[in-house]
Amino acid sequence: MHMIRRRAWEIPERLVTPEHLVVKRRSLLAGAAAMTILPSLLPGGAARADVPVNQAFQPGRPLTEEKYATTYNNYYEFNDSKSVWQEAQALKQRPWSIKLDGMMAKPRTIDIDDLLKQVSLEERIYRHRCVEAWAMTVPWTGFPLSRLLKIAEPLGSAKYIVFQTAQDKVMSGLSAPFYPFPYIEGVTIDEAANDLAFISTGLYGKPMPPQNGGPIRLTLPWKYGFKSAKAIVKISFTDKQPDTFWEAIAPSEYGFWANVNPAVSHPRWSQATERLLGSDERVPTQLFNGYAPQVAGLYSDRKNEKLFM
């Protein structure tokens, strides 16, 4: 007998809300996590209204209002202020290309719009948890990181995927002497292949704002936010664990894995609770940010490693 096994984020077709009802209720989306069809990023930055929303991850809390998620940001290439969004508008989103190199079949540079022609976009509502103990719940548009792995064709000997972010002349923070730019982050190949790992190109049904990492960023909802590299310009494959940005600055505070865990405090503050942007409500932090069913298996053989810092 043929058995259908749905992935964690899939739902039966009978449960999908009819499109005409969803579109009619778009104005209510900011107050609740709902299934909808929103405009999302197309090659060239255009919008379209037929990108499906994957509701199956059920964030379990209301969406954060767009005005909070897009005006309270960390982006140290510009400055260390949370109101960096204004300065970040100077970062041009096109033209944009991404270098693919390292242990792969065909190293090359690909234009972002050529990349987007090779993927199917979708929208996912994820919880996002900063290591500073604030959190938001937002709709990302993009495609699974596993799809990028198929496009890049890394060698079987590659164990890590490494992301490098932009260094542009408009980024005034690059001159800070104590930050080891460029910003480098990385994950293992098996983490990258997990269903949750996502490459985001849009937010709230619009092209990704520069302050949130536009035009293309990594989104890893079970890890602290600093793992999700913004404004990606280079993706490399290697068999060696990379020296990542914050780990290089303070290895006792920011480790390679950075999985969300309420039981393991940051050396300078507790991680037991988090503050929701917009309402400032304090809520309990969940292990793996609530995504343990999808990702805990990645670490079952790594219990001796420092996974939660």
58 vs 250, higher pLDDT: 250
| Segment 16-37 mean pLDDT | 38
Q: What percent of the chain has pLDDT over 90?
A: 79
Check residue 39 and give its pLDDT.
45
| pLDDT range class, residue 45, cuts 50, 70, 90 | low
Please tell me the predicted confidence (pLDDT) of residue 1.
Answer: 44
pTM, full prediction = 0.86
Cis peptide before 139 (omega within 30 of 0): no
- What span, in angstroms and rounded, lies between the C-alpha atoms of 62 and 135? 12
pLDDT digits (tens, 9 = 90+) for 102-115: 999 999 999 999 99
Please report the domains of the chain, with CATH numbers, ordered by start residue.
Answer: 13-299 (3.90.420.10)
Say what the pLDDT of residue 309 is. 73
Q: Residues with Cβ < 8 Å from 78, sequence gap 6 or more? A: 84, 87, 88, 171, 172, 173
| Residue 92 reports pLDDT greater than 60 | yes
pLDDT at res. 17? 41
What value does the mean pLDDT take over residues 210-219? 98
Residue 21 reports pLDDT greater than 60: no
pLDDT of residue 212: 98
> DSSP labels for the chain?
-------TT---GGGSPPHHHHHHTGGGGGGS-----EEEE-GGG-EEEEEPEE-TT--SSPPPPHHHHTTSB-BTTTBS-TBTHHHHTTS--SS-EEEEEESBSS-EEEEHHHHHTTS--EEEEEEEE-TTSEEEEEEEEEEEHHHHHHHH-B-TT--EEEEEE---TT-GGGG-TTS-SSPEEEEEHHHHTSTT-EEEEEETTEEPPGGGTTT-EEE-TTBBGGGS-SSEEEEEEESS----HHHHH-TTT--SS-B--TTS-BTTB--SEEEETTT--EEEPPGGGGTHHHHGGGGTT-TTS----
Tens digits of residue pLDDT in 162-212? 999 999 999 999 999 999 999 999 999 999 999 999 999 999 999 999 999
Q: Using CA of residue 63, residue 74, residue 161, residue 253, what is the dihedral sign? A: negative
Can you tell me the distance from the alpha carbon of 87 to that of 29, in angstroms, rounded to the nearest whole number? Answer: 28
